[in-house]
Amino acid sequence: MNPRRKALSLALIGLSIAVCCLVIVAVAGIESTPYSTTDSAGRSMGFNDRLSPEHYWIMFSSFRVQALLDRDYLYSWFLLAMHACGAWLIVRQGDFGPRRIRRFFALQGLLFPLGWLGLIMLPSTIRSICSGTLEREDIIDVPFIALTAGPFWIATAMAVVCWCRTASTEAAPTIAGEPFVDYPSTSANRHEPAASNPPPAPGGG
């Protein structure tokens, strides 16, 4: 992986981490917010109530770090841990090689399968947030972190897989347009020194 793709990969991982943290804080915050909470306009955050821009501020204000110690957030910790491992592999790519890095990131699609579903649902979720139609139950009644933060990680992982595959192809030596294979030498293909001509027989010719 060349320096440009390495920097871009780390930037995408950083963006995915930021999205994950934002979503985790939002979910933990709304779970700590009572249903009777209202914004300055008197709009409540109860059952099936749509969330206003001020409601999101209330959610983030209600966040407490100790809430993340609950076992319900093990998935979130695991997701962030995979981000850290991925970043470490890319930083130390010289020690691991593109093949191992590619396998690690390809594995993410199996570890976080809901991320694939989230890729389909994410545009609708973003549209609901921007239009003010997202409801409280849309967050707490579904695996919101997996469906919202997961797609960013899946997209990042698949991008790294493609770049590593390209890097492996570019790095392979070629001869006349064909992949070069360095076969081990054998006694059959070693160059033997040429035998010298025997001296002429005495008294000959």
Mean pLDDT within 127-144:
92
pLDDT for 196: 53
Please give the C-alpha separations between residue 18 and each of 2, 65, 80, 152, in angstroms, as whole numbers.
24, 16, 10, 10
Residue 127 predicted with pLDDT over 90? yes
Q: pLDDT-based confidence at 183, cuts 50/70/90?
A: low
Residue 172 predicted with pLDDT over 80? no
pTM: 0.76
Helices (H) and strands (E) in the chain, counts: 8, 2
Mean pLDDT within 122-151:
93
Average pLDDT value over all residues in the chain? 84
Instruction: Tell which residue, 25, 6, 162, 153, has the closest CA to residue 90.
Output: 6
- What is the largest distance, in Å, between two alpha-carbon atoms of the chain? 126
pLDDT for 177: 47
Instruction: Tell which residue, 186, 163, 183, 178, has the closest CA to residue 86.
Output: 163
179 forms beta bridges with: 174
pLDDT for 168: 56
Residue 178 predicted with pLDDT over 60? no
Residue 182 predicted with pLDDT over 90? no
